[in-house]
Structure 1
Amino acid sequence: MARQPEVFTRSLEPEEAQRLVKITRSAKDGVRLRRSGIVLASMQGRSAGEIAAMFAATEGYVREVIHAFNDSRFAALSPKWSGGRPRKFGPAAREQICRIAACKPTELGLPLTTWSLTKLVEYLAEHARLVVSAETVRQILRTAGVSWQATKTWKASEDPDFVAKKTRILDLYDHPPADGRVICVDEFGPLNLQPRPGRGWFPVGCPARLRATYTRTSGVRQMFAALDLATGQMFYRVP
């Protein structure tokens, strides 16, 4: 096999040579330091084989570094990290994991009320043929903006004309009559003053206790109030 022609670093300006020497003395990144040393050794006239023996590298790697430096100059000395291994699961698999996690287990025929990461991993492996760890599932869900949250309750009206009535009320808010007032009536209460428990250091099983309510020595009273949205003035009466 024919011997490959020697390759050397291009001619450097004095400023470039000084910069290269400075990098070999101060670089903290191992890859950058090694590449700088290879270029410097080539600048001193050493062959690719000699440089490979100096840095315990292959001759092909030395030639690659020298060619890269000749083409890209000092930018070739910085390592181009790819950010780790490529993702094992693509967008389709990630979307499927998020979609299954958002479903209720009962909708999929499972006797569960909520997903745990372990149960979700087992279901993915058995039904979706996705062998994935619990930590990977957690990271995929977090990246997609899916988090573990408590279920919140809500109420809906059973009145079939609810939407029409709501629309009429909201229209009154937005377009009140010029020669009249819009009066809204609602009931709130009774409002009780509840004690708020604090925290402290107590023996295990013997915390400080407070009554859940209080004794109303003076009875209770009612207040009727109205708020004028146009002026911000409140009218109230305590009977």
Structure 2
Amino acid sequence: MRQLPWLEPGDALPDPASAWGVADPVPGLLAAGGALDVDTLMQAYGNCVFPWFSEDQPILWWSPDPRMVLQVDEFRLHRSLRKTLARFVETPGCEVRIDHGFEAVIRACSASPRVGQSGTWIVPDMVAAYTDLHRAGHAHSVETWIDGELAGGLYCVSLGRAVFGESMFTRRPDASKIALAALVSLCRHFGVRMIDCQQNTAHLASLGAREMARKRFVAHVAGARQQEGPRWRFEPVYWSELLSARPPSLT
């Protein structure tokens, strides 16, 4: 069995191509240890690596192959969600905000129960690390607000036009889906081609996400991170990127 690299704070992350494969105990695992400071996280995301670990574990770094991604032009706006969005857009007191309450969003994500999970991977150290990354301008929250209350949302990491989705939460029906639809609309408007979803889940697949070979994903990120990123402010006109499109006939 190959030895998993152990990192000291400040060490460079290994090449993502060296992550454990299907013949190893935990496919996609790249390294352990290191630090969660802004510089390390920037290096990690720039090389298609992300941290994911539980409270009783060291920092674990991952680069799965294949990678789950959502091509924003392939986002499935099912009829029910289209109706929900149309109603949301027209209802006073309903709005999307970006970066209005980042820490509230990540804390809500950390507290949200997940099917098949007894705990959370968004441990306090992760909350602190991504809050620092947000303050540095590289992590963002997309928030669904209803009558002045935070109803749901998501947070993501952005390097140029490379956007990496992290986690979602909801307190009202479809509030997290509204936030994702808003992120897709913003990405389409600014020419962001895809949103990283990291791991394959049935829910993400139902929304149009699909797997991509890590080699292709790494090549995409290498180019996208060099391009000017979106302006992280949501304008209602961005909804036209979704709502003006012809609805699919079989959804």
Q: In which range does the TM-score fall when normalised by the shorter chain?
A: under 0.3
Q: Which has the higher helix share?
A: 1
Higher RCO, Cα 8 Å, sep 6+ = 2
**TM-score of the pair, normalised by structure 2:** 0.19
**TM-score of the pair, normalised by structure 1:** 0.19
Q: Which has the higher strand share?
A: 2
